Amino acid sequence: MGCFTITKPFSLLFYLLVFLLCVSPGAGRPSFACDPRNANTKKLPFCNANLPIPNRVRDLIGRLTLQEKITLLVNNAAAVPRLGISGYEWWSEALHGVSNTGPGVKFGGSFPGATSFPQVITTAASFNASLWELIGRVVSDEARAMYNGGVAGLTYWSPNVNIFRDPRWGRGQETPGEDPVLSSRYAASYVTGLQQPYGRDGSRLKVAACCKHYTAYDLDNWNGVDRFHFNAKVSKQDLEDTFDVPFRGCVLEGKVASIMCSYNQVNGIPSCADTNLLRNTIRGEWRLNGYIASDCDSVGVYFNDQHYTKTPEDAAADAIKAGLDLDCGPFLAIHTEQAVKLGKLKELDVNGALANTLTVQMRLGMYDGDPSAQPFGHLGPRDVCTPAHQQLALEAARQGIVLLKNRGRSLPLSTQRHRTIAVIGPNSDVTVTMVGNYAGVPCGYTTPLQGIGRYARTVHQPGCRDVSCAGNQLIGAAVNAARQADATVLVMGLDQSIEAEFKDRVGLLLPGHQQDLITRVATASKGPTVLVLMSGGPLDISFAQINPRVSAILWVGYPGQAGGTAIADVLFGTTNPGGKLPMTWYPQAYVAKLPMTNMAMRSDPARGYPGRTYRFYKGPVVYPFGHGLSYTSFVHTIADDAPKVVSVLFSGGHSRSNTTISGGDSLRVSHTTCDRLEVGVGVNVRNAGSEDGTHTLLVFSVPPASGNWEPNRQLVAFQKVHIPAGSQQQVKINLHVCNHLSVVDRNGIRRIPMGKHNLDIGDVRHPISLQAQPFVENKP
Ligand SMILES: *[C@@H]1O[C@H](CO)[C@@H](O)[C@H](O)[C@H]1NC(C)=O
Ligand SMILES: *[C@@H]1O[C@H](CO)[C@@H](O)[C@H](O)[C@H]1NC(C)=O
């Protein structure tokens, strides 16, 4: 029966029936599996949504042949028509918006684009965990809508939470920066937003996220060393207190449904073949409820490029035995059957991998029949690029912009006094540059030139042909424009031709003639000159920092589809900036002292090795981690009732648990009764300026000095607060002694040093003394 062929008036009920028949089942994508109309599968236990998921998974695995199982071990999993199961593409990406970087997402038709949020390094600079979760929710609304429309998957291989260890890393832009606590919190918040667990015990997922790339993956291609061949030599200490931290937070707090292992080796073993990392740490210690995926073709890479095993069957067997569940790439589909035949692997091992992937598919509702009848089944094209979603992309960009310099309060500009603005620079009218990598097709763009054009008359000069700025032919025209305007805005920096996946930088300076352009324009400019920097990684712009003609500097990262609006809003004071740098800005001389291939976080003064990140590096910086100014000023004081002494109860009572290290006593965290060790510190924050503003309270702990193994200081908490001009607010910081005041010794063991810890908050310092006390069981 055709759908709209009724001519005679029928009852309302009949119309309703026809409407449901026509619209309901066939409107979205067909069922992935367990189609209610398929009589062969309808009654099978794996299709019964009322049974517990483990039972359904067991039932399904029991029905599959070995050959069928093996076709399900790869990202483009084959269909099993016999059981009414469709093929599935596991590889979709949503780093900062639904992205078509993976084959699982296709834009076009009813879904021409999706909301493109700022690149993660920018969003991280907001230090606003509720923003990160909210972005995750919006992205997964759009992802579900696109899945319902048949143009996207439900398994997203995002976020990237590797530590931004070296400022040259081309993919540093994708990460939340250099600090493990910040990265861990970002991972947990974004993943919670994306997955939005629901149902009994939160076992059901809106989409499945994936934290990648486990672990010690933060080099792409530097000085002839690439990620496919790199062996990262990592100490137990650095693994425990740096590289593992975001992944642990992602699993334990974010309850992520997947972890991806990386291409590189860690201490001689490819991470995707490392039983200790995958089976023991991720699944054993952290209890991942989900699947472990390989980076794309990792298994092929360690066989073909690293020659890690003699035969391809050994490579396949090693991966699955180590705990890998899904291969992005064809390798496991090609070699696993033979590996089983040769006795290198048991079918039971294959079942174990499948149980993990199938469980996630079931948690996503993929075996519950008609997708439109499920939660989120109503989402469709009109839920993508909504005004509210696009507003959030703008809000995220505003919150992530960092004011680095503001000489004599040159900013904000005034629409009264600055009526004509010279807008100069290779990034001043860009679109795709603003979304960085792992982006999709945005709903639309506002370039910086367009954004500024909403506040003032603009005179535009690119100054250089592109960011590499090879020639100086266009500088003269830019200088002339600056001479005539009331203020000058230079939008400079980098793009994916300089820092990208496959491409690390060689140095930290602005490319080509950019410095020349900035200096000449600043010298000629009639009014204030503002430098706006787009980049993922830090830049050594000391020349502009010290040049009094450069009035103000903003770092905007890659600010997303609405970047131009956000930049203009900050320039003209509609938005008071509150972002903070999520990574250290080093001078160029720094990188000459350390090869990217040296993974050590800690300094080694005897060998001239400076150490990495604000936690271990003590030398000069251009701008420190956490730097960021406001148009107002904030004053901190510690509340009077903040505790000064805390007793740490330790159990076991063995003298061994009280180890002396370089003069200081410490207790092993595992020997401490951690559950009662919360410390609440009240911090009063006063907005002492004349403008409302948002302030990020960064709380660092400085452990007692005992050797060179503890960090200089460590971010332990952060809280963003909005405070109207002239008023004060108390922020309660809750610290957990075991998590926040512990350090890691050379054997990778977490310990709590006794003695005086300092909490540094802005320019105030609060000491807390920790005292060990043996824990005595109450005798009945
Ligand atoms: C353990 O350390 C505490 C604090 O420094 C000290 O008072 C105590 O005597 C030590 N206990 C043992 C058994 O060494
Ligand atoms: C954090 O972000 C959310 C979402 O944009 C916003 O509502 C909230 O005000 C932000 N927090 C602060 C303190 O600015």
**Measured between alpha carbons, how far is 157 from 213 in angstroms, rounded to an integer?**
10
Q: Which two tokens stand for residue 218?
A: 């933060």
CA-nearest residue for atom 6, ligand 1, is 772
Whole-number percent of the chain with pLDDT over 90: 88
For residues 33-61, give the mean pLDDT.
96
pLDDT tens profile 55-108: 999 999 999 999 999 999 999 999 999 999 999 999 999 999 999 999 999 999
CA distances from 155 to 15, 256, 279 (A): 38, 11, 21
Q: Is 320 helix (H, G, I), strand (E, B) or coil?
A: helix
pLDDT value at 28 more than 80: no
Nearest atom of ligand 1 to the alpha carbon of 665: 5
Choose among 538, 499, 712: nearest CA to 611: 712
Q: What is the pLDDT of residue 778?
A: 57
For residues 602-612, give the mean pLDDT.
95
Q: What are phi and psi of 556, to 5 degrees?
A: -115, 5
Q: How far is the CA of 473 from the centre of ligand 2 (A)?
A: 44
Q: What is the pLDDT of residue 709?
A: 81
Mutate to test the pocket of ligand 2, among 117, 128, 576, 721 (most ligand atoms within 8 A of CB): 128
Q: Please state which CATH number belongs to domain 397-607.
A: 3.40.50.1700
pLDDT band at 373, cuts 50/70/90? confident
Q: Which ligand is nearest to the CA of 722?
A: 2
Q: Which two tokens stand for residue 471?
A: 């020639």
CA-nearest residue for atom 13, ligand 1, is 655
Q: Which ligand is nearest to the CA of 752?
A: 1
Q: Which ligand is nearest to the CA of 650?
A: 1
pLDDT tens profile 338-353: 999 999 999 999 999 9
Assess contact for 45 and 58: CB atoms under 8 A: no
CA distances from 631 to 108, 151, 577, 614 (A): 43, 45, 7, 25
Looking at residue 233, the DSSP 8-state letter turns out to be: -
pLDDT value at 387 more than 70: yes
Give me the chain's average pLDDT, please: 94
Q: How far is the CA of 126 from the centre of ligand 2 (A)?
A: 9
Q: Which ligand is nearest to the CA of 704?
A: 1
CA-nearest residue for atom 3, ligand 2, is 131
CA-nearest residue for atom 14, ligand 1, is 655
pLDDT value at 676 more than 80: no
pLDDT value at 228 more than 70: yes
Alpha carbon dihedral 266, 99, 191, 731, in 10-degree steps, equals: 110
CA distances from 252 to 206, 277, 430, 612, 629 (A): 19, 16, 40, 26, 34
Nearest atom of ligand 2 to the alpha carbon of 396: 5
pLDDT tens profile 310-340: 999 999 999 999 999 999 999 999 999 999 9
Mutate to test the pocket of ligand 2, among 123, 127, 131, 394 (most ligand atoms within 8 A of CB): 131
Q: What is the pLDDT of residue 595?
A: 97
**CATH topology (fold) of 12-368:** TIM Barrel (3.20.20)
403-417, 452-466, 487-501, 660-674, range with the lowest pLDDT: 660-674
pLDDT value at 461 more than 80: yes
CA-nearest residue for atom 4, ligand 2, is 131
pLDDT band at 214, cuts 50/70/90? very high
CA-nearest residue for atom 4, ligand 1, is 772
Q: How far is the CA of 399 from the centre of ligand 2 (A)?
A: 8
161-170, 358-367, 648-657, 739-748, range with the lowest pLDDT: 648-657
Q: How far is the CA of 47 from the centre of ligand 1 (A)?
A: 60
Report the pocket of ligand 2 as residue ranges, CB < 6 Å. 128, 130-131, 134, 395, 694, 720-722
What is the three-state SS of 520-574?
HHHHHCCCCEEEEEECCCCCCCHHHHHCCCEEEEEECCCCCCCHHHHHHHHHCCC
CA-nearest residue for atom 10, ligand 1, is 658
Q: How far is the CA of 134 from the centre of ligand 2 (A)?
A: 10
Report the pocket of ligand 1 as residue ranges, CB < 6 Å. 655, 658, 665, 754, 772
Q: Cα 491 to the chain's mean position, in Å?
A: 25
Q: Cα 778 to the chain's mean position, in Å?
A: 46
Q: What are phi and psi of 275, to 5 degrees?
A: -55, -40
Q: Which two tokens stand for residue 306?
A: 């690293």
Query: Which ranges of 428-508 would DSSP assign to H, the alpha helix?
Result: 448-453, 475-484
Nearest atom of ligand 2 to the alpha carbon of 399: 14
Q: How far is the CA of 131 from the centre of ligand 2 (A)?
A: 6
Q: How far is the CA of 161 from the centre of ligand 2 (A)?
A: 22
**Measured between alpha carbons, how far is 635 from 23 in angstroms, rounded to an integer?**
60
**CATH topology (fold) of 632-775:** Immunoglobulin-like (2.60.40)
CA-nearest residue for atom 5, ligand 2, is 131
Q: What is the pLDDT of residue 647?
A: 87
**Measured between alpha carbons, how far is 577 from 629 in angstroms, rounded to an integer?**
7
Nearest atom of ligand 1 to the alpha carbon of 755: 5
Residue extents of the structural domains in the chain: 12-368, 397-607, 632-775
Q: How far is the CA of 778 from the centre of ligand 1 (A)?
A: 21
CA distances from 115 to 111, 160, 266, 439 (A): 11, 19, 36, 10
Q: What is the pLDDT of residue 674?
A: 85
| Bridge partners of residue 294, in order along the sequence | 261
Nearest atom of ligand 2 to the alpha carbon of 578: 14
pLDDT band at 273, cuts 50/70/90? very high
Mutate to test the pocket of ligand 2, among 685, 720, 723 (most ligand atoms within 8 A of CB): 720
pLDDT band at 659, cuts 50/70/90? low
**Measured between alpha carbons, how far is 619 from 712 in angstroms, rounded to an integer?**
12
Mutate to test the pocket of ligand 1, among 645, 650, 665, 776 (most ligand atoms within 8 A of CB): 665
**Measured between alpha carbons, how far is 566 from 128 in angstroms, rounded to an integer?**
17
User: Strand 764-774 relative to strand 645-650: parallel, antiparallel, unpaired?
Assistant: parallel
**Active site members:** 295
Q: How far is the CA of 646 from the centre of ligand 1 (A)?
A: 15
pLDDT band at 708, cuts 50/70/90? low
Looking at residue 473, the DSSP 8-state letter turns out to be: T
Kindly tell me the burial class for residue 407, based on how many C-beta atoms sit within 10 Å of its own C-beta (0-12, 13-18, 19 or more).
middle
Q: What is the pLDDT of residue 7?
A: 41
Assess contact for 95 and 158: CB atoms under 8 A: yes
Q: Which ligand is nearest to the CA of 729?
A: 2
Q: Please, how many CA atoms are within 13 Å of residue 364, restricted to the half-sphere of its CB?
A: 30
Q: Residues of 693-732 as b/e, b for ≥16 C-beta within 10 angstroms?
A: bbbbbbbbbbbbebeebbbbbbbbbbbbbebeeeeeeebe
Mutate to test the pocket of ligand 1, among 658, 660, 756 (most ligand atoms within 8 A of CB): 658
Q: How far is the CA of 517 from the centre of ligand 2 (A)?
A: 37
pLDDT value at 17 more than 70: no
CA-nearest residue for atom 13, ligand 2, is 721
Q: Which ligand is nearest to the CA of 697?
A: 2
| Bridge partners of residue 757, in order along the sequence | 768
Assess contact for 616 and 663: CB atoms under 8 A: no
Q: Which ligand is nearest to the CA of 664?
A: 1
Nearest atom of ligand 2 to the alpha carbon of 720: 13
Mutate to test the pocket of ligand 2, among 117, 130, 132, 139 (most ligand atoms within 8 A of CB): 130
Q: What is the pLDDT of residue 648?
A: 86
pLDDT tens profile 102-136: 999 999 999 999 999 999 999 999 999 999 999 99
Q: What is the pLDDT of residue 774?
A: 76
**Measured between alpha carbons, how far is 558 from 575 in angstroms, rounded to an integer?**
18
Assess contact for 670 and 738: CB atoms under 8 A: no
pLDDT value at 27 more than 60: no
pLDDT value at 18 more than 70: no
CA R_g for the chain: 28
Q: How far is the CA of 125 from the centre of ligand 2 (A)?
A: 13
**Measured between alpha carbons, how far is 118 from 462 in angstroms, rounded to an integer?**
23
**Measured between alpha carbons, how far is 557 from 169 in angstroms, rounded to an integer?**
14
CA-nearest residue for atom 9, ligand 2, is 722
Q: How far is the CA of 414 from the centre of ligand 2 (A)?
A: 26
Q: Residues of 514-544 as b/e, b for ≥16 C-beta within 10 angstroms?
A: bbbbbbbbbebbebbbbbbbbbbbbbbbbeb
